[in-house]
Structure 1
Amino acid sequence: MTAAQADLAGASSEFTSSSGSPGSFVIDTPRVEDGAAIWRIARDSEVLDLNSSYSYLLWCRDFAATSVVARDAAGAPMGFVTGYVRPQRSDVLVVWQVAVDDAHRGKGIAAALLDELTDRVVRDLGITGVETTVTPDNIPSDHMFTAYAARRGAVLDREVLFDGGLFPADGDVAHAPEVLYRIGPLTTG
């Protein structure tokens, strides 16, 4: 972790829900202790490919500077965005997963997380673009990233990154293709 990434890992911001509903949340960097809660949120989303619980612990340790978590008033995670700087393109943030606990969906938390993370990595790490993958049947993610690009005044390009046939078969269920979304150039919001 670079010095800039270490500084970034300690940042937090407070937000009021954009839906006008009571309550607020804090956007913070994830800690190892958040790994189990983040794993549960991913599992309960029923749309994300679930990684091992161990990987979420590692993510909170090794990629905290490029990830964010939304915390409720008690400090418990209620949503997250995990990301990393692409090794071959140090100006690109790859957004790995975005999820919000079911009880808190529809309040603009995912968008706030994505915007806050982007502001931080653009300012502190010199990121100029975001990449993520979305399966064609994941309409909510498509809408979120399309709206994100529009809010940022950025271009959104799509192309198939991994054809579904590249994934191992899971019984009779074939994996959908993963479509690469390239969003940029980015500036702070």
Structure 2
Amino acid sequence: MESDIFTLRKPEAADGLALHKLVERCSPLDPNSIYCNLLHCSHFADTAIAAENADGELVGFISGYQPPGRADTLFIWQVAVDAACRGQKLGQKMLLALTERLAPAGVQYIETTITPGNVASETLFARVFAALSAPVERSVLFSRAVHFGGEHEDEMLYRAGPFKLATQNS
């Protein structure tokens, strides 16, 4: 399944089950129900991106949405990259392609949450924010003590932007 050739596309409802199975393979991601994944692939397809390998298998997915009343912001919910495709910057390629797709509609900020110590996510987003020349602010969005009853790490909010696409600089 290892390949550096990927097709990046808008997801469709038929991807829901494959997304569910991909997330199951991508520990420590929080699994969602198949129904939730179907919604990511249909209702939220405009703010998501799917990556398939040369065999047509779903090997990467980013789910996101625009928070109500903030059309200038893309909130990234989850980034999943199959283990066989890691190390090829697929997450970065997907996130930059999704940003490029949404920028003409006015998206200028990216938000996500990352638990402390999630080095892979921290590295991915740092690279993307640097590529977009986007300043970053960090704060606690959901607290281990207040929101999770001590049963989950803090969810740190990363807000980056406004960003600049290479095509906007010319």
Please, what TM-score do these two structures have when normalized by structure 1?
0.83
Aligned to 2:5: 24
Aligned structure 1 segments of 4 or more residues deviating by more than 3 angstroms: none
| Alpha-carbon distance in structure 2 between the residues aligned to 1:22 and 1:96 | 25
Q: Identity percentage over the alignment?
A: 38
RMSD (CA atoms): 1.4
Aligned to 2:118: 138
Compute the displacement of 1:88 (Å): 2.3
1:186 to 143, 151, 163: 163
Aligned to 1:62: 43
Compute the displacement of 1:168 (Å): 5.4
Alpha-carbon contact 1:119-1:187 (below 8 Å) kept: no
Partner SS state of residue 87, structure 1: coil
Matched residue type, 1:138:
N
Aligned to 1:11: none
Is 1:73 matched with 2:54?
yes
Question: Which sections of structure 2, spanning at least 5 residues, go unmatched?
Answer: none
Spell out the pairing of 1:1-189 with structure 2 (5 A cutoff). 23-123=4-104, 125-165=105-145, 166-167=147-148, 174-189=151-166
What are the Cα deviations for residues 97-153 of structure 1, in whole angstroms up to 9, with x where unaligned? 001111111111100000000001002x21010100000021110111111111111
Alpha-carbon contact 2:3-2:85 (below 8 Å) kept: no
| Alpha-carbon distance in structure 2 between the residues aligned to 1:97 and 1:23 | 21
Number of residue-to-residue matches in the alignment? 164
Please, what TM-score do these two structures have when normalized by structure 2?
0.91
Question: Which sections of structure 1, spanning at least 5 residues, go unmatched?
Answer: 1-20
Matched residue type, 1:161:
L
| Alpha-carbon distance in structure 2 between the residues aligned to 1:186 and 1:87 | 20
Partner SS state of residue 31, structure 2: coil
Matched residue type, 2:154:
P
| Alpha-carbon distance in structure 2 between the residues aligned to 1:143 and 1:105 | 13
